Amino acid sequence: MPVIPAPFSYHRPKSLAEATALLAEHNDEARVLAGGQSLIPMMKFRLAAPEHLVDVGNISELKGIQRTGNTLIVGAMTTQHELQQSQMLSEAAPILKETSLLIADPQVRYMGTIGGNVANGDPGNDMPAVMLCLDAAYRLTSVTGTRTIKARDFYEGTYATALKTGEILTAIEIPVPPAGHGHAYEKLKRKIGDYATAAAGVVLTTRGGRITTCAIAISNLADKAILATDAAAAVIGTALEKPTLDKAIAAARSIMSPATDTRGTTEYRTSVGGIMVERALKCALARAKG
């Protein structure tokens, strides 16, 4: 039984222009290869069989982490490991490192990239929910030019995103969350290296101990990462008293539709999904200063 990919051609362009040209040339037959930690397994199972792999690992334009004003710009080819090493990111938006450390295992994180994680479109990926919380935007480049799209508009369904054939995600723009904000990413998993049974991220700000702004997003509990807007609205102006919390949890659960799988039944995963939201909210509130 093969766990060997179907035959393919391999390209390793040195510039973004070269890469987009290759993608334009081979169109639907081409696929971007980043860290390969999702794509290669899919190719081994022959769930993906691209004829041309365009490895973007050698393009310096896709690397690096900078801050311009109040925006963090993270190159798509930044590995999870590099992301964790960035002092600047850890200080400005600590939820990134916290979440990154809950992804897979160190070996996968040396290879896997932030761009691949958000562009993959697997509802099991953890970074999309974080990008929804942070209201990040993705820079997409093709031979016809560059556009920017909000993470909140990017996800359409399982392996379905707004990324068009021929486009490369080059960088992620993240508005720096206000100083003193509270954050948390709570992930229930069976073991190290596992995708979430249920996970939730929260970014919030407070004044006088009450929540002033809040974004909540959930991972692996629907066909894509989703923002729990009603749940977030329910907690604004409160200090998470029990009835508020219950209301928020109920609102969050109402938008969850996880499949029954080896991690548990729909009922179980929805139930613990609510608990992840609860824990993330409580933790973020406790961390917030203001």
State the residues that interact with other proteins by CB under 8 A: 1-4, 6-7, 46, 105, 188, 190-194, 197, 262-265, 268-269, 271-272, 275
**If contact means CB under 5 to 8 A according to the sort of partner, which of ligand FAD, other proteins, none does residue 142 touch?**
none
Structure tokens at 289: 């200063």
Closest CA to 143 of 28, 11, 15, 17: 17
Structure tokens at 138: 């993705």
Query: If you count them, how many residues does the chain have?
Result: 290
Stretch that binds ligand FAD, among 120-128, 234-242, 246-254, 275-283 (CB under 6 A): 120-128
**If contact means CB under 5 to 8 A according to the sort of partner, which of other proteins, ligand FAD, none does residue 32 touch?**
ligand FAD
Helices of type H across 125-216? 127-134, 151-154
| CA dist., res. 130 & res. 174, Å (int) | 10
Which x/- pattern, by CB under 6 A, does the window 65-94 give for ligand FAD? Answer: -----------x------------------
Angle, helices 266-287/242-254, rounded to nearest 10 degrees: 140
**If contact means CB under 5 to 8 A according to the sort of partner, which of other proteins, ligand FAD, none does residue 38 touch?**
ligand FAD
**If contact means CB under 5 to 8 A according to the sort of partner, which of other proteins, ligand FAD, none does residue 47 touch?**
none
**If contact means CB under 5 to 8 A according to the sort of partner, which of other proteins, ligand FAD, none does residue 103 touch?**
ligand FAD
Min. distance of Cβ 188 from other proteins in angstroms?
6
DSSP state at residue 57: T
Min. distance of Cβ 243 from ligand FAD in angstroms?
33
Min. distance of Cβ 263 from ligand FAD in angstroms?
12
- Can you name the residues that pair with 200 across neighbouring β-strands? 186, 218
Min. distance of Cβ 290 from ligand FAD in angstroms?
30
DSSP state at residue 285: H
| CA dist., res. 94 & res. 195, Å (int) | 21
| CA dist., res. 34 & res. 283, Å (int) | 33
Please enumerate in sequence order all residues whose Cβ is within 8 A of that of 128, keeping only pairs 6 or more positions apart, or say none: 117, 118, 151, 154, 155, 217, 219, 224, 225
Which x/- pattern, by CB under 6 A, does the window 250-269 give for ligand FAD? Answer: --------------------
- Indicate the residue among 36 and 182 with the shorter CB distance to ligand FAD: 36
Stretch that binds ligand FAD, among 104-112, 142-150, 200-208, 233-241 (CB under 6 A): 104-112
Cβ-based neighbour number of residue 109 at 10 Å: 20
Q: Where does this chain bind ligand FAD (CB under 6 A)? A: 31-39, 56, 76, 103-104, 108, 112-113, 115-117, 119-120, 125-127, 163, 168-169, 193, 195
